[in-house]
Amino acid sequence: MLAPALEVPIQNGTGSIPTVGLGTWTVFGEQGNADEVEKACLAAIDAGYRHIDCAWCYGTQPGVGRALEAKIREGVITREDMFITTKLWDTHHNPSLVSEELKDSLTTLRTDYVDLFLIHWPLALQDQDMSGKPIAPLDADGKGIPAEHALEDVWKAMEECHRAGLTRNIGLSNFNKKQVDRIMKICTIKPSNMQVEVSPYFSNSRILDHCRQLGMTLTAYAPLGAPNRPWRETGEPNVFEDPVLKEIATVKRKTTAQVILRFHIQRGLVVIPKSIRTSRIQENIQIFDFTLTDDEMSKIAALDKNLRVFKESIGFNHKEYPFNEPF
């Protein structure tokens, strides 16, 4: 059983990642949610969060930037106290657009650098400018219009962002093993982090184990299974209703969410639960005052149903669609 730490050292890069971060995705591509994310970030920083996970396509980075600026001005934090992640969107895989997008993110985040810059998906879509409209260019069948930008070339542009001091670390998200290995074969700067979907019903163990062996830190998005996702199908299980998790939560006198997050960090993962409710934000970081036993960890691990809920359907026909491989 791994002993969780407040921070995870970055082996292939610089610094360390706070184990619990705040996710800032609300409703895909709707800029209006920046205001509620600003409030969530203010509450998170007050609750002790020092890690905020962002992405260009979320449309919420202006709110994150305002919150960071406010808390720095108040003297609650310094920029160095915070670990900020952002991600390269699919429509900016053209190597000439990679640094342009990152600079755009830096402007909205009101910072000179980010701590981690990830390739959000291995799916290059038709080049778009920084207006974010459309956020994903689609064909008549509702699928993303692909662009011919090799992942290897995108990575080289990511490395240039690192060398320019725009980001302290670079990494990957939603890549499969073959795609990871392609990057490892050509990289000068190794990926520092892999961010993938992980929940009690989706362990994603094989890609996590592979990336861990390559020295990457590991971040779990949707760690609570995204039970409120709009596309949830009737009959799909909800982790918050799981009797095993509820029983452990009762024994530990914790919430089911706290038990789940604790499970992940005892697997050695960084977690980035999303919430805009202050009480839930506070609850999600209060997971360092109890421990799950080996037996409890085994019981939760046995819940795995291989239930992936973020399938990125717009990329089903893309040649780089990552989830056609076993892992």
Q: C-alpha angle with apex 315: 312 to 319, nearest 5 degrees? A: 135
Q: Residue 309: beta bridge partners?
A: none
Q: Return d(Cα 186, Cα 155) in angstroms, integer.
A: 9
AA identity, residue 53: D
SS3 of 258, please? helix
Helix (H) or strand (E) holding 9: strand 7-9
Q: Residue 217: beta bridge partners?
A: 193
Q: Annotation-wise, does 162 bind a ligand?
A: no
Q: What is the DSSP string of 126-182?
A: S---TT-SSSS-B-TTS-B-B----HHHHHHHHHHHHHTTSBS-EEEES--HHHHHH
201: annotated active-site residue: no
Q: Return d(Cα 315, Cα 320) in angstroms, integer.
A: 8
**Helix 61-73 / helix 34-47 crossing angle, nearest 10 deg:** 40
Residue 265 C-alpha from the chain's centroid: 15
SS3 of 239, please? helix
Q: Return d(Cα 122, Cα 318) in angstroms, integer.
A: 10
Q: What are phi and psi of 2, to 5 degrees?
A: -75, 140
Q: Return d(Cα 263, Cα 2) in angstroms, integer.
A: 10
Q: Residue 9: beta bridge partners?
A: 16
Query: What would the two tokens of residue 300 be?
Result: 């939760």
- Which is the catalytic residue, given 58, 201, 221, 321? 58
Q: Residue 197: beta bridge partners?
A: 221
Known binding-site residue numbers: 120
Residues annotated catalytic, as ranges? 58
Q: Which segments are annotated as binding site for substrate?
A: 120
